[in-house]
Structure 1
Amino acid sequence: MGMEFWDEIVGQPTAVGVLERAAAPEVVPAHAWLITGPPGSGRSNLALRFAAALIARDPADRDHVYAQVAARTHPDVAVLSTERVIIPIEDVRKLIPTAYYSPSEGRFRVIVIEDADRMSEHASNVLLKALEEPPERTVWVLCAPSEADLLPTIRSRARSLRLVTPQPDQVAQMLQARDGIPFETAERAARLAQSHIGMARRLATDAEALARRTSTIELALGVSTLGEGMAAAGALLKVADTDAKALTESLD
């Protein structure tokens, strides 16, 4: 098992190299990590890959472990994610005790908090206490848009890893390899999505979503006067509302 385990992580060779070295069997990794980067750069996917690499007792087992981690069924990983604007303190309090469980199958127990920037200040302070006295076999992985989105005291206790925005052709190559999408279609979707990986996949596989995205670009580019701007704003609002409803139906 080599670097191919990380193939679905797009345009992040430096970050992948750091995490691959940290997950090596002979290495004792930092007990807390902060993965930051713009939306769509792959923060959460990278965190879950890292979790699997840390848990797997043998590099050959990584793919099997990752499948369980991604499905949230592995006993040695806990993932806190939310669709809310704020992660409530109750959710963090429920998570903290699980950090003190010994790994049942793997080398480490890994706790992943997606969108850690959404924690309230009180929730952040609860997490801080757990980070100050970390169990020996537990690794925390926090994801956020930037380091500035978290308390300085939390940042100081975690090793930071900054992701970059992938290039459109890198996103297109991944969509072509993983989803069988023609490269030209994938690259157009990646450019329209500004290299947001999840959005690019959606645009490349949903003709109606692609049409709505294209219309928003055309509306914005066609504005040259205040009146046109006001009219475009109203039209964009309708497009955004339609897109939001379509995404909600898809998620449901």
Structure 2
Amino acid sequence: MTVWDDLVGQQRVSEQLDAAARDADALVTAAAADAPPPDASKMTHAWLFTGPPGAGRNQAARAFAAALQCVSPDRALGGSPGCGFCDGCHTTLIGTHADVSTVAAVGAEILVKDMRDTVRKSFTAPANGRWQIILVEDAERLNEKSANAVLKAVEEPAPRTVWLLCAPSVEDVLPTIRSRCRHLNLTTPSVDAVADMLVRREGVEPEVAAAAARATQGHVDRARRLATDPAARARRAAVLKLPLRVEDIGGALKAAQELVDAAAEDAKQLAEETDTKETDELKAALGAAQGGRLPRGTAGV
């Protein structure tokens, strides 16, 4: 298993990122040995990941970040960076690596005040990892001021800093920024590719996996949720039957209320899952992973 295994139906993109990660590893190795850099390199300091919802652009960017931070000893033996198990890969994938900063929109825009510290950090050398990586998950939500701050950092980056920007399309990013990035476009995975992933990675029955992949039209996260959550499948089945029960205004109002209730239940469950995940990640970052006690003075965080 490698970091590229979660990029469903993106073989071309995986190969390009793998080649770039190999060249990036060669650059760092040469610098550590005070040797001249390789003559040609597929690695660059700024990348733009685009693609429709569900294609996995954020996952691709994070997988690439993990490969850049990979410290597996197999690399010295000719192996490809991105083992998925070493400390560099693991901490990057779960979001706790000290040299990988993630920026995501909280509201409608990413404000310049939310980017100042990140831009400042981009000009520093890596503390522990091999690269200083800035991952912007919602680059389309950069407003004019925050986009200009990013532009200045991308124009003159530090030698070991890499910017990874994610957006639905190139048109969603400031032209002056996208012109300085290497562009990778992800496509919607095929139904067969999504179903195969659900069977291999989630242990889902083939019939259930195929049905979930078709129902979600290749959206990986939604397909995973539908295939692994019987309650979600039951709510979907109930919603699909609603039109057959609407015969008058009263029936329409009742159906509308059931739709609202189903959406509220889905939202509640997603919020609880996200809260649990983020709480566990915070505890791990504070040194209280796997059920351990929180350090003194950090319980209120």
Which residue type is aligned with residue 42 of structure 1? G
Report sequence identity in percent: 43
- For 1:136, the equivalent position in structure 2 comes to 159
TM-superposed CA distance for 1:226, in Å, is 11
Contact 2:232 2:266 in 1 (8 A): yes
SS at match of 2:101: strand
Contact 1:34 1:159 in 2 (8 A): yes
- For 1:6, the equivalent position in structure 2 comes to 4
- For 2:124, the equivalent position in structure 1 comes to 101
Q: For CA contacts below 8 A with separation 6 or more, give which structure has more relative contact order.
A: 1
Which residue type is aligned with residue 131 of structure 1? V
TM-superposed CA distance for 1:68, in Å, is 0.8
Contact 2:45 2:163 in 1 (8 A): yes
Which residue type is aligned with residue 39 of structure 1? P
Q: Which is further off, 83-92 or 109-118?
A: 83-92
- For 1:164, the equivalent position in structure 2 comes to 187
Q: Indicate yes or no: 2:35 matched with 1:35.
A: no
Does the C-alpha gap of structure 1 residues 126 and 173 become closer, same or farther in structure 2, counting only changes over 3 Å? same
Alpha-carbon distance between aligned partners in 2 of 1:233 and 1:250, rounded to the nearest angstrom: 26
SS at match of 1:101: coil
SS at match of 1:41: coil
Gaps of 5+ in 2: 27-40, 276-301
Does the C-alpha gap of structure 1 residues 61 and 16 become closer, same or farther in structure 2, counting only changes over 3 Å? closer
Does the C-alpha gap of structure 1 residues 30 and 227 become closer, same or farther in structure 2, counting only changes over 3 Å? farther
- For 1:53, the equivalent position in structure 2 comes to 67
SS at match of 1:7: helix
Q: Which is further off, 71-80 or 88-97?
A: 71-80
Paired positions, count: 249
Does the C-alpha gap of structure 1 residues 105 and 249 become closer, same or farther in structure 2, counting only changes over 3 Å? closer
- For 1:193, the equivalent position in structure 2 comes to 216
Alpha-carbon distance between aligned partners in 1 of 2:2 and 2:94, rounded to the nearest angstrom: 20
Alpha-carbon distance between aligned partners in 2 of 1:91 and 1:62, rounded to the nearest angstrom: 32
- For 2:172, the equivalent position in structure 1 comes to 149
TM-superposed CA distance for 1:216, in Å, is 3.6
Q: Map 1:210-249 to 2 at 5 A.
A: 210-219=233-242, 235-249=258-272
- For 2:273, the equivalent position in structure 1 comes to 250
Alpha-carbon distance between aligned partners in 1 of 2:218 and 2:236, rounded to the nearest angstrom: 14
Alpha-carbon distance between aligned partners in 1 of 2:81 and 2:44, rounded to the nearest angstrom: 23
TM-superposed CA distance for 1:77, in Å, is 1.4
TM-superposed CA distance for 1:103, in Å, is 2.3
RMSD: 2.7
Q: Normalized against structure 2, the TM-score is what? A: 0.74
Gaps of 5+ in 1: none
Alpha-carbon distance between aligned partners in 1 of 2:42 and 2:129, rounded to the nearest angstrom: 14
- For 1:17, the equivalent position in structure 2 comes to 15
Does the C-alpha gap of structure 1 residues 199 and 125 become closer, same or farther in structure 2, counting only changes over 3 Å? same
Write out per-residue CA displacement over residues 123-159 of structure 1, whole angstroms, 9 at most, x where no aligned residue. 1111111111111111100011111111111111111
- For 2:280, the equivalent position in structure 1 comes to none
